[in-house]
Amino acid sequence: MSQEITDFGYQQVPVKEKAERVAAVFSSVAGKYDLMNDLMSLGIHRFWKRFTIQLSGARAGQKILDLAGGTGDLARLFLDEVGPNGQVYLADINAAMLQIGRDRLIDQGALGNVHYIQANAETLPFTNNYFDCISIAFGLRNVTDKLAALKSMYKVLKPGGRLLVLEFSKPVLAPLSKLYDTYSFALLPKLGQWITGDAPSYQYLAESIRMHPDQDTLKEMIIAAGFDTCEYHNLTGGIVALHRAWKY
């Protein structure tokens, strides 16, 4: 009986192994994750995340789920939007990343209305129709079964709620695409080795971006998961795209 396989970067691995391999990557880089984000994007990731918040429609008193929320920077921004009567759930499958996010938010005074959940996006442990908004930033490409995860998000989102998927995508300009490839494969692993001592993890991250669905394919997947409408915004020439979808 043949094993079901999936991609792990450019490698093909058994489906049951991918989550473990991704976990090893993020456990390895967790301590320097935010520093690497600033260096890799020249700080532009902060603009991408603020744009996500602006399009989220998050309001005072709402319940927000930030999936693959890692070190908590997006959750921190959502807390400012929902106020003391709102609730933000920071969820991540990786315990090391989640611990860093929890420690950071507590240090910043985020108490009472923020919750920390170790969870797999494919099988979310929440009541159906619970959240007003769900975000997942730079995490969907690491999920083994993306369609299952999108369906799980749909179930726990309230009617009228919004899904926001911020993810690396496909540059829309050929010269930018070539420059981006050079940066990703020639420089990124070296930067990862220098900062974290782990070049292979950043080689995987570069490869995982290339294996992720392009803008239109991801839009089709989101609709196939049950969402009624979906639009996307290319950021920084399509290096990153923000998909926004609604459940009616």
**Residue 186 maps to a domain:** no
Structural domain span for residue 55? 5-172+203-246
**Residue 190 maps to a domain:** no
* Section 226-232 average pLDDT: 98
Q: What is the pLDDT of residue 39?
A: 79
pLDDT at 3 over 70: no
Specify the DSSP class assigned to residue 198: -
**Residue 32 maps to a domain:** yes
* Section 36-47 average pLDDT: 85
**Residue 197 maps to a domain:** no
To the nearest whole number, what is the mean pLDDT of the chain? 92
Enter the tokens of residue 152: 């799980």
> Number of structural domains, the chain?
1
Enter the tokens of residue 68: 């693959």
Read off the pTM.
0.92
* Section 17-31 average pLDDT: 84
* Section 175-179 average pLDDT: 87
Enter the tokens of residue 200: 């292979």
**Residue 187 maps to a domain:** no
Q: Locate tokens 């959240």: which residue? A: 131
**Residue 177 maps to a domain:** no
More confident residue, 189 or 229: 229
pLDDT at 98 over 80: yes
Distances (CA, A) of 55 to 52, 149, 208, 231: 5, 22, 26, 11
Rounded-to-integer distance, Cα 245 and Cα 101, Å: 26
Q: Locate tokens 């399509």: which residue? A: 238
**Residue 52 maps to a domain:** yes
Rounded-to-integer distance, Cα 116 and Cα 35, Å: 22
Q: What is the CATH number of the domain that holds 14?
A: 3.40.50.150
**Residue 167 maps to a domain:** yes
* Section 102-110 average pLDDT: 90
Nearest Cα to 206, choosing from 44, 71, 67, 36? 36
